Amino acid sequence: MTDDGRTGAGGARCRIDVGVDGGYEWRMVAQNGRVVAVSAGSHAEYGACLADFGEVCARAGELTGGVQHTPGGNGWMWVLRDAEGRTAVVSARAYERHSTCRAAYDRFRALLGELGGVTGSCP
């Protein structure tokens, strides 16, 4: 990772922000500025949020998931779950079409595979 928070994988980067509940949440931002994925939950501490993102990167090959209906049932989203079945990563938005959501899921999985082992600060 470079000093500006970019990785070697197409310029994608992680950003950690304070969410509406006051907790820390990470999001992965593509080189074009679009948010492609977000953490499934928030963390009380910045360090815990950073560690969560590091775990997602380190365990990318172990995460399972796929495309599913949104909770409201009016669109599609993708999710990744850890070995215990907990949701770890979700799509940044809902998609109107299953095929578009599936393509976004596949792109994220490829990007996540390139980011495996990322450590350091996410500005």
**Is residue 76's pLDDT more than 60?**
yes
**Is residue 81's pLDDT more than 90?**
yes
Q: Which of residues 6 and 41 earns the better pLDDT score?
A: 41
**Is residue 91's pLDDT more than 70?**
yes
Q: Please tell me the distance from the alpha carbon of residue 24 to that of residue 113, in angstroms, as a whole number.
A: 24
- Predicted TM-score (pTM) of this structure: 0.78
Question: Which DSSP state fits 95?
Answer: B
For 28-38, write each residue's pLDDT tens digit: 888 788 888 99
- Angle, vertex CA 46, rays to CA 122 and CA 93, nearest 5: 65
Q: Please tell me the distance from the alpha carbon of residue 77 to that of residue 123, in angstroms, as a whole number.
A: 27
Average pLDDT for 82-102: 94
67 pLDDT band, cuts 50/70/90, is very high
**pLDDT at residue 64 in the model:** 93
Which long-range CB contacts under 8 A does 65-74 form with residues at least 24 apart? 65/89, 65/105, 66/105, 67/98, 67/101, 67/102, 67/105, 70/94
Q: Please tell me the distance from the alpha carbon of residue 118 to that of residue 123, in angstroms, as a whole number.
A: 13
Q: State the average pLDDT for the chain.
A: 83
